[in-house]
Structure 1
Amino acid sequence: MQAIYGVQPGNFYNFDETGFAMGVIRAAVIIAGVDRSAKPKAIQAGNREWVMAICCIAADGFVVLPFLCMVRHNHLATWYVDGSILPTWVVAPTNKGWTDNATGLAWLQHFNIHTKN
């Protein structure tokens, strides 16, 4: 496409969504079988909240700011107080914590804002 249509690297984008557990594992227990045939696993007590992030980068290295989906109905002020979520990031409270049609449309609007030029 680049040779045929003259599309510049800044107009080639790759994006993906990935999920991860919020927080850092501090105290964990290592579980291993006595016969050592299974790989040891680290486990942590308690429930973990999962977050889904949509990340996007252009072929020239330009990065679209993160778009996070959290299982919430509203934004919480504490998300922004300690600086762990930057004010330029988009946080989308969702019922299930993953994308749906409304969240997908919000991400496309986010993408368009950051890639206009």
Structure 2
Amino acid sequence: MNKKTFLGIAALLAVMVILSAYGHKLERGSDNVISLHKLHTLAQKGEQLTWSDFENYPFEDIGSGLYIRKYEVEGGSHLLLSGGNINLAPMSINLVKTSGERIDIRYEEIRG
């Protein structure tokens, strides 16, 4: 295989990987943020909430030593799920409002 053919195949593979990742985002639709309605629905599960309840939403991994996932919430707030093992229940599921107020949605009512 000559150098031009190799480079062409490599470029094609790179484009396919990029399009595959982009296509995965499109499959999730407009679920880039968790709506307040959906958050209220999830909060009703209380202590039964798990990491998998949030698997359809994109997150930012901000943990170091612990799993801490940050999810964007409608209205500018964000949700932080934290724990030592994603196969166990999260240790906390905190809604962080734009005011800085934090509430664990499993135990406290989501207002506003």
Smaller-chain TM-score range?
under 0.3
TM-score (norm 2): 0.26
More helix by share: 2
More strand by share: 1
TM-score (norm 1): 0.26
